[in-house]
C-alpha cells in the first residue's frame, strides 16, 4: 500500500529542505527551473542575477557547455567504477591536474563528495598521520569560534557556529577553539585585509600551553571565513598561525571549500596569502557545483608517512563509494578546462578593485554597519532589528529575490560571491539592486 500524502507532481511537503525555513518557504516557494551563465530563471518565469554563485560554488557560471557535454559523454561511456582496489583513468588525470594548480608541495589528493566530507577526511588524515609517525598522543583538534566546516560530526566539532552545534550532543571530544578575528569596532569598512587583529593568532599559543603540544594533532581554519558572514583574516594572522603550528609540530589545515578555485584571484587562498598549510580542503568550485565532489590536498610528507608496511595492505582505512566517481571526475576536468580557457582562476584579481569600489559605495545606505571585501567576496553587515536578529537580512534577501537578485544572508549579514565571469556592468546592476533593497522598508 502506498503511504503517499496525496502527492501531486508539485507537492512540496515531502522534501524536508536543508538549512531552510521550511514553513515559510512552502507558503512562498522560490524555485529555479533554468540557469545560464550569470542568471537563473524562476518557476514564475523571472530572471534572477546570481550574486552568490549558487552556494559559493558555480564559479564559471551556469550550464557551461564544456562541463555539460563532458558529463553527458562520460555517463554514456563509463558510468561507475568501484573506488576501492580499482580505478579509472580520469580520477588519476584529475588528481595530476589539481596538483598542478595547487601550491607547491601539495602533491596528493583524496576525493570526497562534499565539503563536509573533505573536512572530516582531513581531520582523520591528521589523526592517523601522527599515529603512523609514532606520535599517537596527538589526538586533539583545534578549530575557531565562528568557523564553518560543514555539517558532519568532525566539522561541527571543530566549527564554531552555535546553532550548528547545540542540538547535537557532546560532539567529538578533545576539541578546543581559538577566538575568531572579527573586530568591527576597530576594522569596520576595511577594504581587503584588516589592520587590527593579527595578534589574535597568539591565542593558539595559549591553547598549546594549556593542553601541551604533544596532545594536539591539527588546527583547522577557513583562510577567509565565509558562511559565518565573511570574516577576512587580519594582516599577518595566517602566517602567525603557520609559525606556531610549525614550532609545535601541529598540522595546519586550510578549509578552502569557499576560497578554492579562484575566489580570491589565485587558485587557492594559500597562494593569495602566501601561507602554506599542510592540507587544503576543497569541494564546491571543483566541479563548478554541478556534481557533488570534494578533494583534500596533502603534502608528500603526509602521504609518504602512510606508505610503509607490506605492499598488499591498505594504507589508510578511509574512502567513499563515490570517491573519484567517473562522472564527477569528468565534470571536474571540464571545469578545470573552462577555468583555464577563460582565465577564471585569476579573474577575481582583475575585478577586485572594481568590486571593492562598487560594494563600498553602499556605505551610506540605511542600516549598514560594516562592509568588507576580498577577491570576489563581499559582505554588507546590517544593524539587527531590536529583539529580532536575522529578520532584517532575511527580508532583504526576499526583496532582492523578488526584484531579480540572488544574495545570501547569514545572521544580519549579506554575503556576496558572484560567479567569476561577472562583468563590471553586472556588478553595477547587483549593487544598484542591493541599494534599492536597503533603501526600502526592511
Ligand X SMILES: Cc1ncc(COP(=O)(O)O)c(C=O)c1O
Chain residues binding ligand X by CB under 6 A are 114-116, 119, 148-150, 222, 226-227, 255, 257-258, 283
Pick left, alpha or beta for residue 318 (phi over 0 → left; psi -120 to 50 → alpha; otherwise beta). beta
CB 279, min distance to ligand X, A:
13
CB 367, min distance to ligand X, A:
25
Whole-angstrom distance, CA of residue 361 vs CA of residue 71: 41
If the CB atoms of residues 150 and 411 are measured against ligand X, the closer one turns out to be 150
Element (H, E) at 97: helix 89-101
Q: Which position's Cβ is nearest ligand X?
A: 115
CB 374, min distance to ligand X, A:
14
For residue 178, give the C-alpha cell: 581559538
CB 112, min distance to ligand X, A:
9
CA angle, 199 then 200 then 206, to 5°: 105
Instruction: Name, in order, each residue with C-beta under 8 angstroms of 375's C-beta and a sequence gap of 6 or more.
Output: 224, 259, 263, 264, 265, 272, 348, 349, 352
Distances (CA, A) of 160 to 42, 154, 272, 290, 396: 34, 12, 24, 28, 25
For the chain, counts of helices (H) and of strands (E) = 16, 15
CB 118, min distance to ligand X, A:
7
Cβ–Cβ < 8 Å for 160, 128: no
CA angle, 324 then 296 then 16, to 5°: 75
CB 253, min distance to ligand X, A:
11
CB 363, min distance to ligand X, A:
26
Cβ–Cβ < 8 Å for 82, 259: no
Amino acid at each position: 500500500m502506498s503511504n503517499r500524502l496525496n502527492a501531486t507532481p508539485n507537492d512540496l511537503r515531502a522534501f524536508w529542505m536543508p538549512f531552510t525555513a521550511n514553513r515559510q518557504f512552502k507558503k512562498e516557494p522560490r524555485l529555479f527551473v533554468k540557469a545560464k551563465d550569470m542568471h537563473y530563471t524562476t518557476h514564475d518565469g523571472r530572471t534572477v542575477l546570481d550574486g552568490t554563485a549558487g552556494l559559493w560554488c558555480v564559479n564559471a557560471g551556469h550550464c557551461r557547455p564544456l562541463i555539460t557535454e563532458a558529463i553527458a559523454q562520460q555517463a554514456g561511456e563509463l558510468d561507475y567504477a568501484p573506488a576501492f582496489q580499482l580505478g579509472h583513468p580520469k580520477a588519476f588525470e584529475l588528481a595530476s591536474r589539481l596538483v598542478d594548480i595547487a601550491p607547491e608541495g601539495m602533491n596528493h589528493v583524496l576525493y570526497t563528495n562534499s565539503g563536509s566530507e573533505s573536512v572530516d577526511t582531513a581531520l582523520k588524515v591528521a589523526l592517523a598521520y601522527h599515529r603512523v609517525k609514532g606520535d599517537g598522543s596527538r589526538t586533539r583538534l583545534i578549530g575557531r569560534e565562528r568557523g564553518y566546516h560543514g555539517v558532519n560530526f568532525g566539522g561541527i566539532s571543530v566549527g564554531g557556529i552555535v546553532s550548528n552545534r547545540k542540538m547535537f550532543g557532546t560532539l567529538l571530544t578533545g576539541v578546543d577553539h581559538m577566538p575568531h578575528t572579527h573586530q568591527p569596532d576597530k576594522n569596520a569598512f576595511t577594504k581587503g585585509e584588516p589592520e587590527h587583529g593579527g595578534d589574535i593568532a597568539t591565542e593558539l599559543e595559549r591553547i598549546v600551553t594549556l593542553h601541551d603540544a604533544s596532545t594536539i594533532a591539527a588546527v583547522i581554519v577557513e583562510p577567509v571565513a565565509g558562511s559565518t558572514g565573511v570574516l577576512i583574516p587580519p594582516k599577518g594572522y595566517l602566517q602567525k598561525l603557520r609559525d606556531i603550528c610549525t614550532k609545535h609540530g601541529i598540522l595546519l589545515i586550510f578549509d578552502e571549500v569557499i576560497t578554492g578555485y579562484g575566489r580570491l584571484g589565485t587558485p587557492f587562498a594559500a597562494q593569495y596569502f602566501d601561507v602554506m598549510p599542510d592540507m587544503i580542503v576543497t569541494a564546491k568550485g571543483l566541479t563548478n557545483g554541478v556534481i557533488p565532489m570534494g578533494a583534500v590536498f596533502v603534502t608528500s610528507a603526509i602521504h609518504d608517512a602512510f606508505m610503509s608496511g607490506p605492499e598488499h595492505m591498505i594504507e589508510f582505512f578511509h574512502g567513499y563509494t563515490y570517491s573519484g566517481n567517473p562522472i564527477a571526475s569528468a565534470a571536474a576536468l571540464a571545469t578545470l578546462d573552462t577555468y583555464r580557457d577563460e582565465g577564471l582562476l585569476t579573474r577575481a584579481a582583475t575585478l577586485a578593485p572594481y568590486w571593492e569600489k562598487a560594494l563600498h559605495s553602499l556605505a551610506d545606505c540605511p542600516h549598514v554597519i560594516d562592509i568588507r571585501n576580498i577577491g570576489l567576496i563581499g559582505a554588507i553587515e546590517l544593524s539587527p532589528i531590536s529583539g529580532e536578529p536575522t529578520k532584517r537580512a532575511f527580508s532583504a534577501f526576499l526583496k532582492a529575490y523578488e526584484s531579480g537578485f540572488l544574495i545570501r544572508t547569514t545572521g544580519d549579514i549579506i554575503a556576496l560571491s558572484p560567479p567569476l565571469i561577472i562583468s563590471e556592468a553586472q556588478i553595477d546592476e547587483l549593487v544598484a539592486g542591493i541599494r534599492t533593497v536597503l533603501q526600502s522598508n526592511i
